[in-house]
Amino acid sequence: MIHYQMDDIPRFGCQALPTGHVKSEMRVRGISISDIASAIRHAGRRWREGKKKVKVTYRGVNVVFIPEPCHYYVISASRR
């Protein structure tokens, strides 16, 4: 699995970890890892889907992820 560092917060070393399915979605939909990282960091509205999943929308990018301490397991990424 490829680990992407979130460059804007290096002191924490937090990582966005997309699944293989998400990586292919990103290629097809033209979404970069920096778009996903920005959505996770800067999204104002967050809502839970079930107990663990969090969905955020930021600048036209929808991201569903599971937050763990300093790791964000990205499940889905799409354009609005």
Number of domains in the chain: 1
Cα separation, 69 vs 22, in Å, equals 21
Cα separation, 73 vs 17, in Å, equals 5
* 36-46: average pLDDT: 81
pLDDT band at 13 (very low <50, low <70, confident <90, very high): low
- Report which of residues 59 and 9 the model is more confident about: 59
Whether the pLDDT of residue 10 is over 60: the answer is no
Cα separation, 50 vs 15, in Å, equals 22
Range of the domain at 50: 4-79
Q: Which helix (H) or strand (E) holds 41?
A: helix 33-42
pTM: 0.74
Query: Looking at residue 6, what is its pLDDT?
Result: 47
Query: Looking at residue 45, what is its pLDDT?
Result: 64
> HSE of 55 in the Cβ direction (CA atoms, 13 Å)?
11
CATH number, domain at 72?
3.30.2310.20
Name the β-bridge partners of 16: 4, 72
